[in-house]
Amino acid sequence: MEHVERCAWFLRGTLVRAAVRRYLPWALVASMLAGSLLKELSPLPESYLSNKRNVLNVYFVKVAWGWTFCLLLPFIALTNYHLTGKAGLVLRRLSTLLVGTAIWYVCTVIFSSVEHYTGSCYQSPALEGLRKEHQNKQQCCMR
C-alpha cells in the first residue's frame, strides 16, 4: 500500500504543475495522431482476433458492461464499507452505479433504434450504389 501511496504522491505532484497541465492536452493529441498515422502506414494483417465473430469479441467485448458491473459492484460495496463503515453511504454509491447502468442501457436502446430505422443498404464498402429503400436494417441484411 505504501508503494501505491508514493506513486499517487508523485503523480499528484507532477500533474498539478501548471507547465505539465498546459502541455498535457497537446501530448494527448500528439499521441492520438501518432497512433493513427502508425495504423495507416503499417496495417495489421487479417487474423482471428480481427474477426468480429471471435470468442473474445463476442463474449467479452459485447457484454463489457456486464463484466464491468459484476466487478465494480462488490468492489464499490466492500471498499466503501471498509473505509466508512456506513451502510447508507455504500447504498448511495451503489445507487450511482445503478443509475449509470440505466443511462447506459437507455442510450444503447436509443442508438440501436435510430440505427435500425435510419440505416442504409450499400452494394459495396466504397458506398457506390444505394440499393432500394428498405423499412429497416434487417430487411437490408436479408438481401
Higher model confidence: residue 34 or residue 5?
34
Least confident of 4-8, 10-14, 104-108, 131-135: 131-135
Per-residue pLDDT for 119 more than 70? Answer: no
Higher model confidence: residue 136 or residue 29?
29
Using CA atoms, how far residue 69 sits from 63, 82, 99, 111, in Å, is 10, 20, 12, 21
Q: What is the pLDDT of residue 137?
A: 61
Q: Say how far residue 49 (Cα) sits from the centre of its chain.
A: 18
Q: How does pLDDT run across 122-141, given as a tens digit for each residue? A: 555 544 444 555 555 666 65
Nearest Cα neighbor of 75 from 1, 6, 99, 67 is: 67
| H-state helical runs in the chain | 2-16, 18-41, 55-56, 64-84, 87-118, 137-142
Question: 13 and 21 in contact (C-beta within 8 Å)?
Answer: no
Residue boundaries of the structural domains of the chain: 1-39, 54-117
Per-residue pLDDT for 58 more than 70? Answer: yes
| Spatial distance between the Cα atoms of 78 and 84, rounded to a whole number of angstroms | 10
- Residue 15's Cβ-side half-sphere holds a number of Cα atoms within 13 Å equal to 9
Q: What is the pTM of this model?
A: 0.47
What cell does 14 get? 507532477
| Spatial distance between the Cα atoms of 26 and 28, rounded to a whole number of angstroms | 5
